[in-house]
């Protein structure tokens, strides 16, 4: 499996954080795009589908959990990893129930995140014919 082909969409309202994270993941041969709110994330899906979405929970306007719900309703094959600074056990459970692939807390080790993205991509490949 070619990891360079994995398309990742980072959704985080902290612009500096999203951009730096994207740069670091690109150095690990992933194709990364960034958007800075939930609404933008959903409209981006209409143009180009990522394989994996890395999604923050607390954002202005549409919250991460609402985005996850919507993504799973309309693009169930896209794997979603929650990356949050403030996730509670209850939210982790809820994300799992909604079909989230993983739940990481900020600051996450970059290799852990990259590995999780690759695992999520593998999962997507097994589910998509």
Partner 1 sequence: MHSNDRSEQELKLLQLHFIGKILAGFTHESKNYLAIINESVGLIGDMVQMGKSSEKDLSEYLQIVRSVEDQIKRANEHFRALNRFAHRMDTELSSFSLNESIEELIALLTRFAKQKKIALIKNFQEDLPSLFSNPSLLQFIVFSVLDEGLLTLEKDSRITIETAGADHAVQIKIIPEGNVQTMESEVPSVPHEVVEKTIKQLNGNIVREGTGKTFIMLPLTAS
Contacts with partner 1, residue ranges (CB under 8 A): 14, 16-17, 20-21, 23-24, 27, 58-61, 85-86, 106-107, 110
Query: Least distance from C-beta 68 to partner 1, angstroms?
Result: 17
Query: Least distance from C-beta 67 to partner 1, angstroms?
Result: 14
Query: Least distance from C-beta 14 to partner 1, angstroms?
Result: 5
Residue 88 or 128 with smaller CB distance to partner 1: 88
- Nearby residues of 109 by Cβ (< 8 Å), 6 or more positions away: none
Residue 65 or 78 with smaller CB distance to partner 1: 65
User: Cβ distance 83 to 58 under 8 Å?
Assistant: no
Residue 21 or 35 with smaller CB distance to partner 1: 21
Residue 48 or 109 with smaller CB distance to partner 1: 109
Contacts 24+ apart (CB under 8 A), 100-109: 100/68, 101/52, 106/17, 108/83
User: Cβ distance 31 to 56 under 8 Å?
Assistant: no
């Amino acid at each position: 499996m070619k990891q360079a082909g994995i398309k990742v969409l980072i959704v985080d309202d902290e612009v500096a954080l999203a951009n730096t994270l994207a740069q670091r993941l690109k150095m690990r041969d992933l194709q990364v795009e960034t958007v800075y709110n939930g609404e933008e994330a959903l409209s981006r899906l209409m143009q180009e589908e990522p394989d994996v979405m890395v999604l923050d929970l607390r954002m202005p306007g549409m919250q991460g959990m609402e985005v996850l719900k919507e993504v799973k309703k309309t693009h169930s094959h896209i794997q979603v990893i929650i990356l949050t600074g403030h996730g509670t056990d209850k939210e982790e459970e809820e994300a799992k129930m909604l079909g989230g692939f993983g739940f990481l807390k900020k600051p996450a080790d970059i290799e852990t995140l990259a590995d999780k993205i690759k695992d999520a991509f593998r999962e997507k490949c097994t589910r998509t014919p």
